[in-house]
């Protein structure tokens, strides 16, 4: 993973906490859990090194607008074995983008 953007990390943690997840871990990669669902969250700043295969079923990548398109292209081209989503953080707003067939949502 590229350099760490601590503001993006804090925003990612805050988003998941506001969505009712219990957040575990203190770095740019952390675990968010709610009911039966565990999501492995990675904040992405610049070029991302994606998990190629994973025992974890759900991954969410949190990125800034300038990094989101490249990240999505990278995920689509590698077609990982896990379900993934991207949260694009722009200031205090964010938008959730999912791999098909999931819906797109925004907050």
What are the tens digits of pLDDT across the range 86-105? 999 998 899 987 754 555 55
The 10s digit of each residue's pLDDT in 2-20 is 455 788 899 999 999 999 9
DSSP state of 28: S
Start-to-end Cα distance in the chain? 26
- Asked if CATH classification 3.40.50.150 holds for the domain at 6-100, the reply, yes or no, is no
Tokens for 36? 């039966």
Compute the Cα dihedral for 74, 36, 105, 25 and give only its sign.
negative
Q: What pTM was estimated for this model as a whole?
A: 0.82
Per-residue pLDDT of 60-90, as tens digits, reads: 999 999 888 888 888 888 888 888 999 999 9
Distance CA 83, CA 67 (A): 20
Spatial separation of the C-alpha atoms in residues 9 and 28, rounded to whole Å: 6
């Amino acid at each position: 993973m590229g350099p760490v953007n601590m503001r993006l990390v804090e925003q990612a943690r805050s988003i998941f906490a506001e969505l009712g997840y219990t957040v575990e871990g203190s770095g740019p990669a952390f675990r968010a859990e709610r009911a039966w669902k565990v999501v492995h969250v990675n904040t992405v700043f610049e070029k991302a090194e994606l998990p190629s295969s994973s025992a974890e079923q759900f991954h969410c990548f949190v990125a800034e607008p300038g990094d989101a398109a490249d990240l999505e292209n990278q995920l689509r081209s590698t077609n990982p074995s896990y379900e993934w989503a991207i949260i694009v953080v722009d200031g205090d707003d964010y938008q959730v983008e999912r791999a098909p067939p999931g819906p797109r949502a925004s907050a």
